[in-house]
Amino acid sequence: MRKLTGRPGRRQGDETMQPPTRPAPWIARSVSTEFGRRHVKGVAITRLLVGIAAVTLGSIFCASGHWWGALLFVPAALNLWFAYLMPRWKRALDDLKSGPRVRELERSRALVVDDAAARLRRIEQDLHDGAQAQMVAVVMKLGLARDHLGSAVAESGRGDLERVLERALELVDAAHRGAMEAITELRDLAHGIHPPALAEGLGAALAALTARSDFPVELVLDLPERPSAAIEVIAYFCAAELLTNAAKHSGARHVTLETTHHPGLVTLRVSDDGTGGARIEAGRGLAGLADRVKTVDGRMRVASPAGGPTVVTIELPSHA
Amino acid sequence: MRIVIAEDSAVIRAGLAEILADRGHVVVAAVGNAEDLQSAVDEHHPDAAVVDVRMPPGYSDEGIRAAIAIRRDHPGTGVLVFSQYIETRHAANLLGAAAGSGAAGVGYLLKDRVGDVSEFVEALSRVAAGGTALDPEVVTQLLRASRRTDGLGALTAREHDVLALMAEGRSNGAIADTLVISERAVEKHVASIFSKFSLTPSDSDHRRVLAVLRYLGSGPADPLPGHPGSRSP
């Protein structure tokens, strides 16, 4: 992880020695910024008051026939000018100072986003190699046991033993069915964490997604090169959510999913000929998508007049 | 049957070996990656190979590529690919390659299907004998994909049902049982499907597979999506 630097009054060398419990540097930064802002405000108000006082005094002296009173207008003008300019200078200076900091936050955020994507992929892989494989092995053994018990029941025909075997068969059969359901659930869970088809790229994953959908989706892909893994994951889940929305709410008969990747920009567009009227409302699916897209500085636009058609466009940077 | 197993998970490998041995088959080799699979098949010339899709080193579609290579180099070895997830393009790749080498002798099943031991072993036998075994889910997805482009104009609903079961690799008798119609009726539908696809009797053995392939081949699964710059209709 990249370290956040820039705590005022601390040398670079000290940074790496700090225990992890120290307050995050941005807290110190925002406190000092807040202090600076108040300080500037105070000075500006003082200058303003001094300026006004000088103008008033100068005017009074001039009015009472003392011509030298006009000399007071010079410091008055200077003070008023300072009062006017100081907040502007301060802001310009802040912008100058925060530029590198914003860039650094962007970099560290990209690392966090990439790291999260990689971690989800690992979890999916662990599920695949671990729990899912174990369950398949269990199901095989139960299947085998069930078959053996079944033929034993058929052959035994001896009162007590047959009853015992039948009971055992029932139990094994129930366990087998339960294990099969568990496998399906595990598969859905793993798929929701990280779609395995993404290993072969966004195009392949979207093709698999549209193949699974219950209604026809026209797929248009133009992905000459792969965006970063985290962006692929976001694009995939956005597409999945938008297709679900189109199916659930719009009553569309025709849905098109278009995905292009041009230098620096991944564009995902889902259009349907449904009833329209989709809006980004707090707490609704589209708002959740918009939030997700924003985490990587992406943008989402919804054009959905009443009566349709609905076009949702999502733009993502190639790299988080 | 003499069988080679390729599966990177040791527990599943052991489980498969156990159920196959239980049903009187001989597992001549059980390996954990595609490379070892190739050499095991080269060495043992098995009747069938059971192959996991995701294997080291890339954990993506190593199994599919190995299966296609085996079908090309060892016509006598049927390949049953099985996978935790169904990916239509994997199925399309496999079927497309199988069509090139005389069709058939391939299967693609979800891993859960091994839980139904008899059905799994039967599917494997079918593949070893040069037939096909497709997971019902694969068939559903493939047919759905091709219906989109065709509008399904050519086939009646019943013929569509029959074709779906044919794609799974079922015999006429099994199709008749499933659809609760007479075997004679199934034959009629099958003949009608063949004629609609202009498959002449000279294609004899593989007509069933060819019918399925021809039907599926018209879907967006071909040309295969997902490759750089590809644009599917």
| CB pair distance less than 8 Å for B232 and A219 | yes
Identify the sign of the CA torsion B122, B125, B127, B131.
Answer: negative
CA distances from A203 to A213, A236, A263, B124, B134 (A): 16, 9, 16, 32, 24
- Taking contacts as CB-CB distances below 8 angstroms, the residues of chain B near A129 are 8-9
| CB pair distance less than 8 Å for A141 and B18 | yes
Q: For residue B134, what is the enclosing H or E element?
A: strand B132-134
| CB pair distance less than 8 Å for B14 and A137 | yes
User: Which one, of A213, A6, A187, lies nearest residue B140 by Cα?
Assistant: A213
Q: Look at residue B203 and tell me whether its pLDDT is greater than 60.
A: no
User: Over pLDDT 70: what percentage of chain B?
Assistant: 76
Identify the sign of the CA torsion A250, A257, B65, B29.
Answer: negative
| CB pair distance less than 8 Å for A203 and B227 | yes
The pLDDT assigned to B151 comes to 40
B70 touches B40 (CB < 8 A):
no
pLDDT band of B218, cuts 50, 70, 90: very low
Identify the sign of the CA torsion B4, B10, B14, B15.
Answer: negative
**CA–CA gap between residue A70 and residue B170 (Å, rounded):** 108
Q: Look at residue B103 and tell me whether its pLDDT is greater than 50.
A: no
Backbone angles phi, psi at A219, to 5 degrees: -110, 125
Backbone angles phi, psi at B79, to 5 degrees: -120, 120
| CB pair distance less than 8 Å for B220 and A219 | yes
Residues 6+ apart with CB under 8 A from B222: B92, B96, B216
Smallest Cβ–Cβ distance between A208 and the set B12, B87, B118 belongs to: B87
Q: Look at residue A128 and tell me whether its pLDDT is greater than 70.
A: yes
Give the mean pLDDT of B151-170.
74
**CA–CA gap between residue A9 and residue A19 (Å, rounded):** 17
pLDDT band of A279, cuts 50, 70, 90: confident
Q: How far is A240 from chain B (nearest CA, A)?
A: 16
> How high is the mean pLDDT of chain A?
82
| CB pair distance less than 8 Å for B115 and A142 | yes
Coil/strand/helix, residue A193: helix
Instruction: Read off the DSSP letter of residue A250.
Output: I
Q: Look at residue B201 and tell me whether its pLDDT is greater than 60.
A: no
**CA–CA gap between residue A229 and residue A117 (Å, rounded):** 7
DSSP sequence for B139-156: HHHHHHHHHHHHTT-SS-
Residue type, B190: V
Give the mean pLDDT of B106-131.
89
**CA–CA gap between residue A177 and residue A182 (Å, rounded):** 9
Strand partners, A221: A259
Would you tell me how many other CB atoms lie within 10 Å of the CB of residue B101? 14
Burial status of residue B147 (CB atoms within 10 A of its CB: 0-12, 13-18, 19 or more): middle
Q: Does B150 touch chain A (CB under 8 A)?
A: no
Residues 6+ apart with CB under 8 A from A16: A3
Residues 6+ apart with CB under 8 A from A79: A47, A48, A50, A51, A54
Q: Within its chain, how far is the Cα of B219 from the centroid?
A: 17
- Please state whether beta strands A255-262 and A265-272 pair in parallel, antiparallel, or not at all (unpaired): antiparallel
CA distances from A150 to A167, A169, A171 (A): 11, 7, 12
Q: Look at residue A18 and tell me whether its pLDDT is greater than 50.
A: no
Give the mean pLDDT of A240-260.
86
What are the pLDDT digits (tens) for A149-169? 988 888 877 778 888 888 999
pLDDT band of B228, cuts 50, 70, 90: very low
- Taking contacts as CB-CB distances below 8 angstroms, the residues of chain B near A128 are 54, 84
Nearest residue in A to B119, CA atom: A143
Q: Residue by residue, what is the 3-state secondary structure of B79-108?
A: EEEEECCCCHHHHHHHHHHHHHCCCCCEEE
- Taking contacts as CB-CB distances below 8 angstroms, the residues of chain B near A139 are 112, 114-115
Backbone angles phi, psi at A272, to 5 degrees: -140, 160
Burial status of residue A189 (CB atoms within 10 A of its CB: 0-12, 13-18, 19 or more): middle
Output the pTM of the full model: 0.66
Looking up tokens 């039967």 gives: B122
Smallest Cβ–Cβ distance between B11 and the set A134, A147, A199 belongs to: A134
Q: Does B87 touch chain A (CB under 8 A)?
A: yes
Q: How far is A249 from chain B (nearest CA, A)?
A: 21
Residues 6+ apart with CB under 8 A from B139: B164, B167, B168
Coil/strand/helix, residue A271: strand
Q: Within its chain, how far is the Cα of A235 from the centroid?
A: 11
Smallest Cβ–Cβ distance between B15 and the set A129, A141, A208 belongs to: A141
Tell me the residues of A at the B interface, defined by beta carbons under 8 Å apart: 125, 128-129, 132-134, 136-137, 139-144, 147, 176, 179-180, 183-184, 187, 190-191, 196-197, 199-201, 203-208, 211-212, 216, 218-225
ipTM given for this complex: 0.70
Coil/strand/helix, residue B200: coil
| CB pair distance less than 8 Å for B226 and A221 | yes
User: Dihedral through CA A179, CA A185, CA A190, CA A193, nearest 10?
Assistant: -150
Residue type, B12: I
User: Which one, of A311, A218, A198, A211, lies nearest residue B232 by Cα?
Assistant: A218
Q: Which of residues 32-51 of B touch A (CB under 8 A)?
A: none
Give the mean pLDDT of A91-107.
84
Structure tokens at A318: 């190639």
Q: Look at residue B11 and tell me whether its pLDDT is greater than 50.
A: yes
Q: How far is A125 from chain B (nearest CA, A)?
A: 9
| CB pair distance less than 8 Å for A201 and B16 | no
Could you tell me which residue, B28 or A285, shows the higher pLDDT?
A: B28
Looking up tokens 């399906």 gives: A184
Smallest Cβ–Cβ distance between A147 and the set B14, B114, B118 belongs to: B118
A61 touches A68 (CB < 8 A):
yes
Coil/strand/helix, residue B1: coil
User: Which one, of A277, A274, A279, lies nearest residue A254 by Cα?
Assistant: A274
**CA–CA gap between residue A266 and residue A317 (Å, rounded):** 6
Q: Look at residue B207 and tell me whether its pLDDT is greater than 80.
A: no
Burial status of residue A190 (CB atoms within 10 A of its CB: 0-12, 13-18, 19 or more): buried
Most confident of A33-42, B124-133, B167-176: B124-133
Give the mean pLDDT of A26-43.
59
Q: Look at residue A250 and tell me whether its pLDDT is greater than 80.
A: no
Residue type, A40: V
